[in-house]
Amino acid sequence: MSGQLLPAVVAVLLGVVLGLALFVPFVAVQYRRQGRLTLGQLVLWGSFLVYGLALWTYTLLPLPAPGEISCVGAQLRPLQFVADIRSFPHASLTELRHNPAFMQVALNVLLFVPLGFFLRLGWRRGLVASAVAGFAISLLIETTQLTGVWGIYPCAFRFFDVDDLLANTTGALLGGVLSLAAKPWLSRRTHAVTAPVRPVSAGRRLVAMLCDALAMTMLGMIVGVAINAYQLYVGAVPAAQVDTAVAGTWAAVVPLAAFGLLALSTGRTVGDLAVMVRWEGGARPGVLRGLLRYLGGIGGWQLLGIVTPGADALFALASVVLVFAARRRGGLPGLVSGARPVDARQEPAAMSSAVNGSAGAA
């Protein structure tokens, strides 16, 4: 794989891994900030994640082998790029396009334009914040290069250039200016405290189910890695003799029990909590309803994967279909427990009835 292609591949792969790891917290934050999750929000934050990783990989990767290091100096004279540009033909746009010094400055500016744009769209920060962030991140990158990745290498293997600080900061500021065109769209965004209570849609239920599956899978992976690490480093078991079946069993049972306790105590799963959904009506007492809701959802999926491998895939397919087919988007959990999903911000039915009864008596 070429050195130019490697950073892009690393950025995309890391972006996918981090995106999956951060999906549940991201969904929870978006529902609490804005009361919903849209495709635009996913695209915006997913793009920002990949951009941040690409910024890191393109400025620091590939890392050289210790024996192949070639030490470089530093350029500490501000605006040296002006003289560099003038040392090549620069009288026309065509000449500038083939001017290596000009193209280097232009690319350094363009590299940080998305930063200012994302800061405005994602965090609603102004032009000053964009410029400061651009300068700070650029300084961190340049200092990392100057110090040989903070002492990991004996000398700098990438060129420190003070003009890169100027170009990167300018790019971030320019991105902030360009993002002003999105101001009307930003003004229409609402927060959860002002957004109206929304009926639970099929999309919302599917997002909750995805959050449950990701949370269950990631906790299982963490448990599995921990059990294998215990065998290797605490039990001193040779790598060839590590019992992966033990790790696999714990990786399946621990998430099932942990999320089961959550469902029994709150009546909701991780996905329900993330998308701000609660369940009303159905089986009594509430503990029984929580158990049935769990077994009709992510708990049943995980349990089938343990007892009858392969049946969990059919269970998942049926669960998705029933989200659209079942009444009030309750899906299989609603059919099993008799409960219905409602917006967590909605007033509880019992309280609402009591209030309405008091008003009628008055």
Residue 16 pLDDT: 81
Segment 306-341, tens digit of pLDDT: 999 889 999 999 999 999 998 889 999 999 999 999
Q: What is the pTM (predicted TM-score) of this model?
A: 0.76
Place of tokens 């007033």: 347
* pLDDT tops 80 at residue 188: no
- Alpha helices by DSSP H, listed for the chain, are 5-34, 39-60, 80-86, 93-97, 100-123, 127-146, 148-151, 162-178, 183-187, 202-229, 244-266, 270-274, 286-295, 298-307, 311-325, 331-337, 349-361
- For 277, the enclosing helix (H) or strand (E) is strand 277-280
Segment 31-56, tens digit of pLDDT: 888 788 888 888 888 888 888 888 88
Residue 32 pLDDT: 85
As a whole number, mean pLDDT of residues 240-244 equals 83
Rounded-to-integer distance, Cα 319 and Cα 294, Å: 12
As a whole number, mean pLDDT of residues 238-258 equals 90
Residue % of the chain over a pLDDT of 90: 44
Contacts of 320 (CB under 8 A, 6+ apart): 206, 209
* pLDDT tops 90 at residue 63: no
Residue 10 pLDDT: 74
